Amino acid sequence: MKRILTLALVAAFVMGVAGFASAKEVQMKAQFVHNLTWADNTDFTDANNEDDFSASQRVRVYFDYVASESLNAVLGFEIDTEWGDANGGALGTDGAGNVEVKHAYTNFMVPGTSVSARVGLQPVGFKGAYGSPIFDDDAAGILVSAPITEQVGLTVGWVRALDNGVDGVEDGQTQDDIDIFTAILPIQGNGFSVTPYAIYGNIGSDLYDNGLGNDTLWYTKGLVNAANGGVEADDDSSVYWGGVNFEVAMFSPFTFKGDVIYGSVNADEEKNDRSGWFMDLGAEYKADFGTLGLLAMYGTGDDEDAAEDGSNTMPTLNDSGFGPTHLGFTGAQSGGMDSKLAAGDRYDLWAIGAYLADFSFVEDLSHKVIVMYGQGTSDEEAVKAGRKLDDNRYFLSEEDSFVEVNVDSTYQIYENLAAIVELGYINMDRDEDVWGDENDDDAMKAAFYLKYDF
């Protein structure tokens, strides 16, 4: 209750400030997601060192201050609370909790033009058939968009991904920034869309070694060569991606969609390089009873010389939005357990899957079922070498395989209130010669959500 009162006071204050700024209209929207999750063996071993049950909630509240059709500003807050946690979720529910500024940006049109700009803490993502394997999250930066023709647009932007993250360490290391520049060219045709994009980034040399030895920081795990255990770079590195997303809907009720992406990190030494491909393809058939779909994905993997010659996996920026499933990949609802196969920092695997979505037997109750089979694409010798550094650096070798099954159900209680159940299962078959005599154990998950949007 105290948390809600605090949020209400913050909202009242923000609205008051908005009044002085002469906003003509203040619009508000919010989302409350309460989550109960049971999961077991998510590291695919039969160890008993994990907490099987968790309860949490996430609240997001957004205020949109609209001055005109050409000018508005958005301020959003997020409160994540682990039930029972001493920092806001224990008895009494007092504490700071995890209160965050989610969004804080300004939208405006350049006077006399059709050019729009968004400046501040904002959602930034790259279009993907099943979400972006590079980045789909929030970031601080500037995005500028303009139509070229009625069918073609252009968006260019700069994101300051990291600035001075290790300020104050020994030797005054300050070359630790990551700057990202991007250009996106969405093309919308009659029954199809094509979105090519290019991304370029500069990675400061001090980012790799922050005075803690070779420990790779969380914000570089998708950029370094995991096979050599991290890097000590003498010079800045550059990273770039070139990709294209497409969707073809002109053959209704069939839809085809996919992505082709190449990414590369050019570092000071060859052993620190990382470059590779990622591709996915999906086909859907929309019937009266639901949507039938087939999907396939492929990401290049490391060879046995990766520790010396560089990684052959596509770099990534974070655990982003690629989510065909909700246990192995990032498709879970807010606060749900996911990313147990790819973890968002490497996609050295191939997989095929089939799904049936949006089918129903009872009014207001819909379901989705998906089954996927896949194998790793990294050489078993590279995985063995990487495991000596850190088991978490690799998930699959080309000798390992998995089967994942998800069953999702959504019951629309009211127009704005839904009950959601996610059931996930992964059968992992890891090669004994690669992983030793460890006993594989199946990963399982059952998650329940109560989701209120208004």
According to the model, what pLDDT value does residue 434 have? 83
Q: Which residue has the higher pLDDT, 450 or 339?
A: 450
Whether the per-residue pLDDT at 197 is higher than 80: the answer is yes
- Single-letter amino acid, residue 169: V
Looking at mean pLDDT, say which of 2-16, 114-128, 372-386, 429-443 comes out highest: 114-128
According to the model, what pLDDT value does residue 335 have? 73
Three-state DSSP state, 47? coil
Q: pLDDT confidence of 286, banded at 50, 70, 90?
A: very high
Q: Which residue has the higher pLDDT, 150 or 336?
A: 150
Whether the per-residue pLDDT at 351 is higher than 80: the answer is yes
According to the model, what pLDDT value does residue 215 have? 41
CA distance 373 to 315: 23
According to the model, what pLDDT value does residue 87 have? 75
Structure tokens, 74: 């958005």
Q: What is the mean pLDDT of residues 266-286?
A: 92
Q: What is the mean pLDDT of residues 260-274?
A: 90
Whether the per-residue pLDDT at 42 is higher than 70: the answer is yes
Whether the per-residue pLDDT at 8 is higher than 60: the answer is no
According to the model, what pLDDT value does residue 229 have? 63
Q: How far is CA 226 from CA 146, 154, 271, 377, in A?
A: 39, 35, 10, 15
Q: What is the mean pLDDT of residues 357-366?
A: 96
Count CB atoms within 10 A of the CB of residue 143: 22
Whether the per-residue pLDDT at 132 is higher than 80: the answer is yes
Sorted by where each begins, the domain ranges of the chain are 110-453
Quick one: which H or E segment has residue 17? helix 2-20
First and final CA of the chain: distance in angstroms? 19
According to the model, what pLDDT value does residue 49 have? 64
According to the model, what pLDDT value does residue 346 have? 85
> pLDDT above 90 covers what percent of the chain?
60
CA distance 183 to 398: 35
* CATH code linked to domain 110-453: 2.40.160.100
What is the residue-averaged pLDDT of the chain?
85
**Nearest by Cα to 315 from 300, 298, 329:** 300
Whether the per-residue pLDDT at 17 is higher than 60: the answer is no
Structure tokens, 78: 């997020």
Q: Which residue has the higher pLDDT, 205 or 363?
A: 363
Count CB atoms within 10 A of the CB of residue 437: 5
Q: What is the mean pLDDT of residues 429-452?
A: 87
Q: What is the mean pLDDT of residues 351-377?
A: 97
In degrees, to the nearest 5, what angle opens at C-alpha 318 toward C-alphas 312 and 320?
105
Q: What is the mean pLDDT of residues 70-97?
A: 83
Whether the per-residue pLDDT at 375 is higher than 70: the answer is yes
Q: What is the mean pLDDT of residues 178-205?
A: 93
